[in-house]
Amino acid sequence: MHWIKREVRNLQEQYHTSDPFELADYLEYILVPFPFRKIRGMLLVFEGTTFIGYNNTLPYREQKLVIYHEIAHRRLHPSLNYFMVLDNLRSICIGKYERQVDRFVAELLLSEKKPEPGESIYEFARRYDVPVKL
């Protein structure tokens, strides 16, 4: 999965940010906040324009994770034709693509950070407020 790390590094170097709202703006993705009932986020590409819908009733930290997730799908799998629905930080379709997206998000969130000596993955994730599943 070195290609994912490379993709994240290229994105960070090009735009000098890891903030999902700023990245979406730079990438010209249209963010659509909506008070979905059960959907956390969705990605739609229509006539070349990328829309990311995200549940704006979620805590801000989770909204950011959803936007990261959808940016990752668009960057890693641009030609894939599917509709992904997120519910409780998991998607209906779990597999290779989801693992790749999770890796992308983890790289964005933790690329400049290193665990302390003897620190477990759980402690490391908790220190940076990153879900362990990533």
pLDDT in tens, 33-62: 999 988 899 999 999 999 999 999 999 999
For residue 122, give the CATH number of its domain: 1.10.10
Q: Which of 92, 68, 112 shows the shortest CA–CA distance to 54?
A: 68
Q: Is residue 134 part of a domain?
A: no
Q: How many residues make up the chain in this entry?
A: 134
Q: Is residue 49 part of a domain?
A: yes
pTM above 0.85, yes or no: no
Supply the Cα-derived Rg of the chain in whole angstroms: 15
Sequential pLDDT tens for the chain (134 residues): 689 999 999 999 999 998 999 999 999 999 999 999 888 999 999 999 999 999 999 999 999 999 999 999 999 988 766 554 444 445 445 578 888 888 898 888 887 788 888 888 888 888 877 777 76
- CA angle (72 as vertex; 69, 74 as ends), nearest 5: 115
Q: Is residue 133 part of a domain?
A: no
CA–CA dist 69, 62 (Å, integer): 10
Which range of residues forms the domain containing residue 72?
2-127
Q: Is residue 29 part of a domain?
A: yes
**Backbone angle region of 103, left / alpha / beta, with phi > 0 → left and psi within -120 to 50 → alpha:** alpha
Q: Is residue 109 part of a domain?
A: yes
In the chain, how many domains are there?
Answer: 1
The helix or strand, by DSSP H or E, that contains position 103, with its residue range, turns out to be helix 96-110
